[in-house]
Structure 1
Amino acid sequence: MKKGLILISTLLFLSCNEKNGNDEQPINSNDSLNYYSKILSDDKKSYQEKVIASKKAVELSKTKKNSQAKREALVNVITFQVINQDYYRFDFTYKTLLQDAITANDSINIANAYRYRASYLKNNTVYDSAFYYYGESEKIYEIFSDELNLGNTLLNKSVVQFYSNDFLRADVTGVRAYNILKNLDDNYKIYLILTVLGNINNELSEYDKALEYHKEALKIIEKYDIDNSQHPKATVINNIGHTYKLQKNYKQAVVYFNLALQNKKLLTDTPDLYVLLLDNLAYCKFKIKDYAGLPGMFQESLKISDSLQLYSNSVYTLNHLSEFYAEKNDLENARKSSERAIKLAQITKLPVDILSALKQSSLVFPSDEARKYSQDYIRINDSLQQKERKSQEKFARIQLETDEIIQEKEGLVEKNRTLLYVFVVSFILVALLFIVRAQRARTRELLYKQAQQKANEDIFNLMMSQQSIIDESRNKEKKRLAQDLHDGVLGRMFGLRLNLDSLNNNNDEETVKRRFELLNELKTIEQDIREISHDLNREKQVLINNFVSIVHNLLEEQQSSYQANLKYTIDNSVNWDKVNNTVKINMYRILQEGLQNINKYANAKNISIEIKGDSENLYLKIKDDGIGFDVNRKSKGIGMQNMISRTHDCQGIIDISSKKDTGTLIAITIPLVNKQIIVEEA
């Protein structure tokens, strides 16, 4: 999660022109492209003057022939547009610059055009295309050994990979950028890349390394007195505190957050940083049970965020506030905070906001609502994982295509060498490429499986803990009712019966008759209450647990979403409390993958699902009457491989039988290896 820290928005350039409200027209004594280009390069000119000059320069460039002066003017225009995100006719400006540079064989401006295009796409969150264009400019800068632009390009490329959650490659790219920039006399850029590398390593859970980068960035700022209106020193101190918070070293985190908040200008200059620091400080104080100033600090942070419409910060604070109230057993305010966090997350539409709000809501709401939030969390989290996987595959494909282009160029350079030498070199390159691709593929698959397994475990454990809380509350209530009936009502009834027995001293016929009627009625009531008491204490084992409910939901969704006729049976005699959570998760994912394969490829009319078990094993059968497939083929799809892998993880056996046009049967047997004796209450 990237909340709680500040990732410096790395720019192509180091200085930005401040926007102000000056609406005056620029003094125009010479209506020429060169004149407006100079205005864009003049730091003394106002922002509004530069906006007008940028538009004038774009219009004048239509009438000018291709020349070095024109290309330099377009560079100034596009630089201003990217820095200030004022994209007046950006596509025309970019294409004109690129086409003129290609025509003039101006390689540096070709690279500049690609880089400006990449930055525009990055600012608009089109990360895959931005990655491609940064790669194109990178190749040209490398050829011309342009260290300054190459280092800056790699810096931005690393940020793109970071925001696409491709953290391993972002780290590799960031280290390359650092190794280049540290040799240049530009301390602000060194500070930027150190900050980026620190945040990347936080996401990789390499917290010690992240602290090294952030503290080195702090040294750079203090040594060279780097400061501006964005308060980079406070930013770095916040990132150090956030890293300690991730390590659960909350006391040390409090020290750094307090240190950053000593800067009294933060609230006016960078209110988003101020509210983040305030919330982080409040949360760490809460974690170490230092409740001084709480929940006031949370509420102050929330008030400022709301007033500035920093809704993402508001979601972050509301989740922490809900957690605080839940710790204090104030469930009403905890739920109110969670409900508002969900509403604001729907406004921001950021997945990280939505997931965090859903997760917190599942912890504070009653069981039925909590189950709905948990299911929404699972659905959105699965969707995000698929999108991230596609994005990473796309980045890998772009990088691979880039590598292949480089190899082709190297082959052209080597064409005058002997045939044997070319053959040997080509063979080695191909072999190395094959090994690298195979290794990267295995690494990606392993990381994906580990991440998915951990997420599945967390989600399922969360749901099971909710069910455990419900069951515990139910049992306590039943015992209380049983004790009240037995010790209170029955005691009083018994005393009444003894008093009635004393009426035996009256021996007249009417008294004796009435006495026996009352005694018989009291005995009947006493017996009824006793039966109710015992019945309340009896465990109801026939209740279907949370795992079975989730499976039912999956199968009902299949029935409502697809035309195939689905029949399924689930053995209610299986005691799922004795089944290991990992086995449940893998069975659910196998069933989910099996249904997806049928829906995508089988073209089946009928589907049969059977889940049963005995004292030794669990059994899962998935059968369809679709087109079938050849089970003997060497290569299997990733879905089938995942089903086999999950079965093996459970020490189970999977049998796949299929013939073309006769359907498919998947039979899975999983042993109950982690058995537990559950003592029934009398």
Structure 2
Amino acid sequence: MKRKTILTLLIISLFFGCSKRKLDTVSEKTASDSLNYYMGVLNSKRALNSDKTKAISSALKIVESLKNTSRNRDTLFSIVYILYNNQDWNSFNSASQYLLKQSIKANDSINMAKSYRFKANYFKRIQSYDSSFIYYRKAEKIYYKKKDKINYANILFNKGIVQSSVGDFLGAELSLSKAYYIFKDSNEKDKLYGTLNQLGLVYTELKEYDKAILFHNKALDVVKNIKSWNREHPVAICYNNIGYLYLRQKKFNEAIVNFELGLKDNLLAEDDPDTYGCLLDNLAYSRLKSNNYKDLPKLFYDALEIRNKLDDYTYIVGSNIHISEYYQKIGNNKLALEYSEKALKIAKESKIPVNLVFALKQASIVDKAKSIYYSEQYIKINDSLQIEERKSKDRFNKIQFETDEIKQENVGLAERNRNLLYAFIITFIIVALLFVVRAQRARTRELLYKQAQQKANEDIYNLMMSQQAIIDESRSKEKKRLAQDLHDGVLGRMFGLRLNLDSLNSNTDEESVKKRTELLNELKTIEQDIREISHDLNREKQVLINNFVSIVHNLLEEQKNAHEANVTYYIDNDVVWDKVANAIKINMYRILQEGLQNINKYANAKNIIVEVKGDKENVYLKIQDDGVGFDVNRKSKGIGMQNMISRTSDCNGIIDISSKKNEGTKIVITLPIETKQLITEEQ
């Protein structure tokens, strides 16, 4: 009863266990299908924004419930990418952090790098440059280690922009230069343009104007050779940057020319109002500085109108300051003060210190009553900005230094570990060499003995073969003589007799005719018999007269009788062994002998096939078994196999060894019947 209860419980547990696994599989499949559906909604151009928001939320929940697989991490990255583009920063932060966590768990360096990169982009966007720099550095190290040049260069490019933003122009120059040397040898022309453009801006800030104009012109050359930029207008941007460079140098006429070239782009106002507004404002300011009041102040107001629509505090402050400067220059102090106050108000609202510095500087010039106050505020904030800029530079340098220091420590540790490893390897090699030398001495003595024995065997065999060659030659001459006697003597006489009998055909009596016919038939029979004997004597089978074939035959028969493996062999009777050099025969015999010994010792084979064939130029030996086989690619081979290879090489032959584990071994050896080297040796 107890056993029956236990058996029942086991069956129930097995049933529910199987059901649970099945349910888990179905559940995972359902989740995957739902995830595919939501990703389809997110990638659809027709879907409403509200539907996409719901789809993102649902997709995130599903991904978090699934296993941490490569596919699910890739899907999570796609969601992070969409959230970044949609600027849904709350969801982006949580999703990117989760992706980073999962990637670190799985040691997924690619998705780790992507996570770092997007977080760095986010912090750059919100102007948290310290955090941005740190994450760019982390991504940079991964891409450098992976030797992913393009992504590595992308990180350097963005890192350079971050460094420029905090005034670390020397650091930015280094990062951007590295990126430039990678992009210039790639097909990433848009990235090359961006890097050249940014280098031009960096050199402008460093007041290295010759280098700045060089890189801006290079950027212009790149974009002119690219046909399609969609709705982007890089040519206009290049002209704006070149014009700004000349404006910084106070070369106002050159600046005006480049700003006007940029404004010739008819689609710029619609596609890129930001750049269009910059060109208008820069052109107006250059004309103001060069005392050229053409279209002023209209150009300033047009630029301000565009910038108000874009709601960009920095540009709005800049436009108001320029308009204030314009009115100050033409002597309208009232409007100059009015636009200065507007600039100051907007700068305070923006909470961007740089905007406030420029607004305070203009206010201190136009507002005489508060000039001292504004000047003090300007100096105070400007000093604090410079201090903060230096701190940022120091922080960046500290991060860079700490990274390099860690890298140097790792190099030191690696070097120490390498030295320890070398010491261990050298010690091991010395001990192994001592052991090998000792073992090799014993083996060498054994080999010397075997070689001496083998040399003696070869000398005996050579002598036998030489004697056999003399016997074969005598026998051949005797056979030839007998064949000629039979053919030219007996057959000739018999042929004459038949002719004489034919001449008696004139007798017409029945008995004579019958007798003549019988005699003629008899003579024909005798003639045919003698002809066959003659031919047989002339082409006697080489197998019966050649000592080499007999020796091979005996070796294979001994193999059959002495070992369990079934031996099947075939020796081609058409091989003219007289033409085969003795050295070839000796080596061929020894190779066969060595091959059979190897099979007997190691192969554990049930069947052995041996074939000896030949043609006009070569003789062929094939040895095949169905044994355990071996790895033909291993560096160290047995002495037997080395001997076979060595003998084949001595004969200028070719050896082909093919073998697989548990599939047997096949050795095919091709030896030339004669070679110049062997003929020389025999002579």
TM-score in terms of structure 2 length: 0.55
Query: 1:299 matched to which residue of 2?
Result: 301
Change (3 A) 1:156 1:255: same
Which residue type is aligned with residue 90 of structure 1? Answer: F
In structure 2, C-alpha distance between the alignment counterparts of 1:151 and 1:38, rounded to whole Å: 32
Do the aligned partners of 1:122 and 1:160 also contact (CA within 8 Å) in 2? yes
In structure 1, C-alpha distance between the alignment counterparts of 2:183 and 2:117, rounded to whole Å: 17
Q: How does 1:162-561 map to 2 (within 5 A)?
A: 162-366=164-368, 368-418=369-419
Residue 65 (structure 2) pairs with residue 63 (structure 1): yes
Do the aligned partners of 1:158 and 1:174 also contact (CA within 8 Å) in 2? yes
In structure 2, C-alpha distance between the alignment counterparts of 1:307 and 1:131, rounded to whole Å: 32
Change (3 A) 1:352 1:416: closer
Deviations 1:552-594 (A, max 9, x none): xxxxxxxxxxxxxxxxxxxxxxxxxxxxxxxxxxxxxxxxxxx
In structure 2, C-alpha distance between the alignment counterparts of 1:64 and 1:30, rounded to whole Å: 9
Query: 1:609 matched to which residue of 2?
Result: none
In structure 1, C-alpha distance between the alignment counterparts of 2:153 and 2:44, rounded to whole Å: 25
In structure 1, C-alpha distance between the alignment counterparts of 2:53 and 2:260, rounded to whole Å: 40
Change (3 A) 1:84 1:220: farther
Aligned to 1:225, what secondary structure does the other structure show? coil
Which residue type is aligned with residue 404 of structure 1? Answer: E
Aligned to 2:293, what secondary structure does the other structure show? coil
Do the aligned partners of 1:188 and 1:226 also contact (CA within 8 Å) in 2? no
Of the structure 1 ranges 45-54 and 159-168, higher mean CA displacement relative to structure 2 is found in 45-54
Deviation at 1:42, TM superposition (A): 6.7
Do the aligned partners of 1:34 and 1:69 also contact (CA within 8 Å) in 2? no
Do the aligned partners of 2:154 and 2:179 also contact (CA within 8 Å) in 1? yes
In structure 2, C-alpha distance between the alignment counterparts of 1:46 and 1:236, rounded to whole Å: 37
Deviation at 1:380, TM superposition (A): 0.6
Deviation at 1:180, TM superposition (A): 1.5
Deviation at 1:81, TM superposition (A): 2.3
Which residue type is aligned with residue 119 of structure 2? Answer: R
Aligned to 1:418, what secondary structure does the other structure show? helix
Deviations 1:221-244 (A, max 9, x none): 110124232322211211111111
Aligned to 1:416, what secondary structure does the other structure show? helix
Deviations 1:416-472 (A, max 9, x none): 3437999xxxxxxxxxxxxxxxxxxxxxxxxxxxxxxxxxxxxxxxxxxxxxxxxxx
Which residue type is aligned with residue 208 of structure 1? Answer: D
Which residue type is aligned with residue 373 of structure 1? Answer: Y
In structure 2, C-alpha distance between the alignment counterparts of 1:310 and 1:146, rounded to whole Å: 37
Deviations 1:34-62 (A, max 9, x none): 44445656778787765544333212112
In structure 1, C-alpha distance between the alignment counterparts of 2:32 and 2:74, rounded to whole Å: 18
Deviations 1:591-631 (A, max 9, x none): xxxxxxxxxxxxxxxxxxxxxxxxxxxxxxxxxxxxxxxxx
Residue 120 (structure 2) pairs with residue 145 (structure 1): no
Deviation at 1:257, TM superposition (A): 0.9
Deviation at 1:373, TM superposition (A): 0.9
Cα RMSD for the two superposed structures = 2.5
In structure 2, C-alpha distance between the alignment counterparts of 1:91 and 1:292, rounded to whole Å: 50
Change (3 A) 1:300 1:112: closer
Deviation at 1:299, TM superposition (A): 2.0
Do the aligned partners of 1:33 and 1:70 also contact (CA within 8 Å) in 2? no
Query: 1:616 matched to which residue of 2?
Result: none
Change (3 A) 1:201 1:53: farther
Aligned to 2:65, what secondary structure does the other structure show? coil
Do the aligned partners of 1:41 and 1:76 also contact (CA within 8 Å) in 2? no
Which residue type is aligned with residue 208 of structure 2? Answer: E
Deviation at 1:354, TM superposition (A): 1.1
Change (3 A) 1:414 1:214: same
Query: 2:448 matched to which residue of 1?
Result: none
Q: How does 1:89-100 map to 2 (within 5 A)?
A: 89-100=91-102
Query: 2:442 matched to which residue of 1?
Result: none
Q: Per chain length, whose mean CA-contact separation is higher, i.e. which structure has more relative contact order (CA < 8 Å, sep 6+)?
A: 1
Deviations 1:160-189 (A, max 9, x none): 111111111011111111112222211111
Deviation at 1:395, TM superposition (A): 1.0
Change (3 A) 1:421 1:213: farther
In structure 2, C-alpha distance between the alignment counterparts of 1:280 and 1:59, rounded to whole Å: 50
Change (3 A) 1:164 1:47: farther
Aligned to 2:416, what secondary structure does the other structure show? coil
In structure 1, C-alpha distance between the alignment counterparts of 2:49 and 2:219, rounded to whole Å: 31
In structure 2, C-alpha distance between the alignment counterparts of 1:186 and 1:152, rounded to whole Å: 10
Structure 1, unmatched stretches of 5+, are: 1-27, 423-682
In structure 2, C-alpha distance between the alignment counterparts of 1:44 and 1:238, rounded to whole Å: 37
In structure 2, C-alpha distance between the alignment counterparts of 1:133 and 1:194, rounded to whole Å: 23
Query: 2:622 matched to which residue of 1?
Result: none
Change (3 A) 1:139 1:309: closer
Deviation at 1:402, TM superposition (A): 0.9
TM-score in terms of structure 1 length: 0.55
Which residue type is aligned with residue 239 of structure 1? Answer: N
In structure 2, C-alpha distance between the alignment counterparts of 1:91 and 1:115, rounded to whole Å: 13
Deviation at 1:369, TM superposition (A): 1.2
Change (3 A) 1:309 1:135: closer
Deviation at 1:145, TM superposition (A): 0.2
| Percentage of matched positions with identical amino acids | 41
In structure 1, C-alpha distance between the alignment counterparts of 2:51 and 2:183, rounded to whole Å: 33
Query: 2:532 matched to which residue of 1?
Result: none
Query: 1:477 matched to which residue of 2?
Result: none
In structure 1, C-alpha distance between the alignment counterparts of 2:422 and 2:284, rounded to whole Å: 67
Do the aligned partners of 1:131 and 1:160 also contact (CA within 8 Å) in 2? yes
In structure 1, C-alpha distance between the alignment counterparts of 2:305 and 2:155, rounded to whole Å: 39
Aligned to 1:62, what secondary structure does the other structure show? helix
Deviation at 1:318, TM superposition (A): 1.8
Query: 1:161 matched to which residue of 2?
Result: 163
In structure 2, C-alpha distance between the alignment counterparts of 1:46 and 1:196, rounded to whole Å: 38
Structure 2, unmatched stretches of 5+, are: 1-29, 424-683
Do the aligned partners of 1:151 and 1:181 also contact (CA within 8 Å) in 2? yes
Which protein has the larger Cα radius of gyration, Structure 1 or Structure 2? 2
- Determine which of 71, 74, 98 is the counterpart of 1:72: 74
Deviations 1:74-122 (A, max 9, x none): 1111122223322352233223222222222212222222112211211
Do the aligned partners of 2:176 and 2:195 also contact (CA within 8 Å) in 1? yes
In structure 2, C-alpha distance between the alignment counterparts of 1:168 and 1:225, rounded to whole Å: 34
Query: 2:11 matched to which residue of 1?
Result: none
Change (3 A) 1:331 1:239: same
More helix by share: 2
Aligned to 1:371, what secondary structure does the other structure show? helix
In structure 2, C-alpha distance between the alignment counterparts of 1:39 and 1:85, rounded to whole Å: 18
- Determine which of 83, 86, 89 is the counterpart of 1:84: 86
